[in-house]
C-alpha cells in the first residue's frame, strides 16, 4: 500500500480548496453574466406608465423613439479615462414606433418599472420629428438635424447630449416650439442637400424630468419661412457657409446653425404687416 505523507495530504487538500474556490468564482461570474445579458422585461400590468404624444404638422413625421432602460442590479465593469476600474448600471435600449391615434396625433406608452430579472427602470427617451421624405425641397434632399426631444427620468446622462438640460418638477411636460426649415447644400466630398429644423437651442431640447408621467409635444412648423445655407466648394481658410434669410439678409459664419431669433423676428414682422 502506498503511503501518503502529511505534506502530500495537505497539498492535495490545498489543491481541492483552490479548485472549489475557482468553481465558485466561475459560477458567480456566470450568474452575473446571465443577469447582465438577460434583457427580458416583464412589467406588472398595473405598473406606473409614462405616456408620450406628438401632434404633427403637415410635412413632418415622427422619428422612432429611442428608449433606454437601466438596471442597478445587473451591472458591468469598465475603466475610466485614467484606467481606473468602475462599475456602472447595465443598459437596455431599443427603438419604438409611435402609433397613430388620429390624423395628426401619435402616441406611445412605456412602463416606469420594466421588471425582469434585472429590474429594469426607465432611464431616458429620445424622440422628435423630421421632414417627411420626399421633402418639398427636392427628391435629393434628406432630413437633417433639429426637432429632437430628450426626456431624462433618472440621474444618468443620456446617450446623446443635445442641449443644456431643463429641469421639470411637475408630472406633465408640454413642449410647444416653433421651427423653420433650413435647406443646406454641401459640395466638398460629394454633393449633399439636407433639410433641418431651426429652433430654440439649436432645434433640439433636453429635459430632466424624474416625476413626469405625461409628455406632449407639438412642433409648430413655419414652412413658408425658409433659410438656405450654401457651403464653400473648396477648402479655403476663412471661407464659411453663407446663410440666405427670407428677408434678403446674407450672413457668413463657421456655425452650421441658422439664427433662430432672427427667423422669429422676420416672421413676426411679416405677420404684423399683413
Q: What is the mean pLDDT of residues 190-217?
A: 96
pLDDT at res. 175: 98
Q: Find out whether 245 and 251 touch, Cβ atoms under 8 Å.
A: yes
Q: How far apart are CA 214 and CA 112, in angstroms?
A: 12
pLDDT (tens digit per residue) in 225-260: 999 999 999 888 888 999 999 999 999 988 778 999
Q: How far apart are the first and last CA of the chain?
A: 113
Q: Is 62 exposed, middle or buried (0-12, 13-18, 19+ CB in 10 A)?
A: buried
Place of cell 422619428: 63
User: What is residue 56's DSSP assignment?
Assistant: P
Residue 168 lies in a domain: yes
What pLDDT sits at residue 15? 53
Count of other CB atoms within 10 angstroms of residue 92: 21
Question: How many domains does the structure of the chain reveal?
Answer: 1
The answer to whether position 71 is within a domain reads yes
Q: Choose between 254 and 199: higher pLDDT.
A: 199
Q: Is residue 139 part of a domain?
A: yes
Does any domain span residue 20? no
**What are the beta bridge partners of residue 230?**
185, 242
In a domain, 18, yes or no: no
Does any domain span residue 99? yes
**Average pLDDT in the 124-129 region?**
97
d(CA 149, CA 97): 15
Q: Is residue 259 part of a domain?
A: yes
Let me know if residue 153 belongs to a domain: yes
DSSP 51: E
Q: Give the per-residue pLDDT at 33.
A: 45
- Cα–Cα distances in angstroms (integers) from residue 175 to residues 4, 73, 231, in the given order: 81, 33, 32
As a whole number, the mean pLDDT across the chain is 88
CB-based contacts of 93-101 (< 8 A; 24+ apart in sequence): 93/66, 93/67, 93/68, 93/69, 93/159, 94/67, 95/64, 95/65, 95/66, 95/67, 96/64, 96/65, 96/67, 97/64, 97/65, 98/52, 98/54, 98/62, 98/64, 98/65, 98/127, 101/53
| pLDDT for 79 | 79
Rounded CA gap, 146 and 198, in Å?
6
> 79 pairs with which residues across the strands?
85
Q: How confident is the model at residue 99 (pLDDT cuts 50, 70, 90)?
A: very high
DSSP string for residues in 121-165: EEEEEEEEEEE-SSBTTBTTEEE-S--EEEEE-SSSPPSS--S--
Domain that holds residue 162: 49-77+88-272
For the chain, count helices (H), then strands (E): 2, 18
What per-residue confidence (pLDDT) applies to 251? 95
How many Cβ atoms sit within 10 Å of the Cβ of residue 226?
A: 19
Whether residue 212 has pLDDT greater than 50: yes
Task: Read off the pLDDT of residues 44-92 as tens digits, 9 standing for 90 and up.
Answer: 999 999 999 999 999 999 999 999 999 999 987 887 788 888 888 899 9
Amino acid at each position: 500500500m502506498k503511503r501518503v505523507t502529511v505534506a502530500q495530504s495537505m497539498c492535495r487538500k490545498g489543491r481541492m480548496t483552490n479548485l472549489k474556490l475557482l468553481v465558485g468564482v466561475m459560477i458567480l461570474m456566470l450568474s452575473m453574466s446571465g443577469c447582465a445579458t438577460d434583457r427580458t422585461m416583464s412589467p406588472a400590468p398595473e405598473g406606473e406608465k409614462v405616456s408620450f404624444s406628438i401632434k404633427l404638422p403637415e410635412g413632418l413625421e415622427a422619428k422612432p423613439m429611442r428608449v433606454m432602460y437601466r438596471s442597478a442590479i445587473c451591472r458591468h465593469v469598465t475603466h475610466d479615462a485614467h484606467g481606473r476600474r468602475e462599475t456602472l448600471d447595465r443598459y437596455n435600449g431599443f427603438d419604438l414606433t409611435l402609433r397613430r391615434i388620429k390624423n395628426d396625433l401619435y402616441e406611445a406608452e412605456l412602463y416606469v418599472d420594466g421588471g425582469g430579472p434585472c429590474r429594469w427602470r426607465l432611464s431616458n427617451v429620445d424622440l422628435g420629428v423630421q421632414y417627411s421624405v420626399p421633402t418639398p425641397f427636392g427628391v435629393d434632399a434628406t432630413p437633417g438635424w433639429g426637432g429632437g426631444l430628450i426626456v431624462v427620468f433618472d440621474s444618468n446622462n443620456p446617450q446623446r447630449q443635445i442641449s443644456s438640460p431643463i429641469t421639470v418638477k411637475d408630472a406633465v411636460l408640454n413642449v410647444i416650439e416653433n421651427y423653420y426649415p433650413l435647406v443646406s447644400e454641401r459640395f466638398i466630398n460629394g454633393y449633399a442637400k439636407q433639410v433641418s429644423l431651426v429652433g430654440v437651442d439649436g432645434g433640439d431640447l433636453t429635459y430632466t424630468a424624474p416625476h413626469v408621467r405625461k409628455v406632449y409635444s407639438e412642433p409648430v412648423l413655419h414652412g413658408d419661412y425658409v433659410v438656405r445655407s450654401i457651403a464653400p466648394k473648396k477648402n479655403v481658410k476663412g471661407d464659411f457657409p453663407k446663410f440666405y434669410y427670407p428677408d434678403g439678409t446674407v450672413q457668413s459664419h463657421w456655425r452650421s446653425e441658422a439664427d433662430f431669433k432672427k427667423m422669429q423676428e422676420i416672421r413676426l414682422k411679416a405677420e404684423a404687416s399683413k
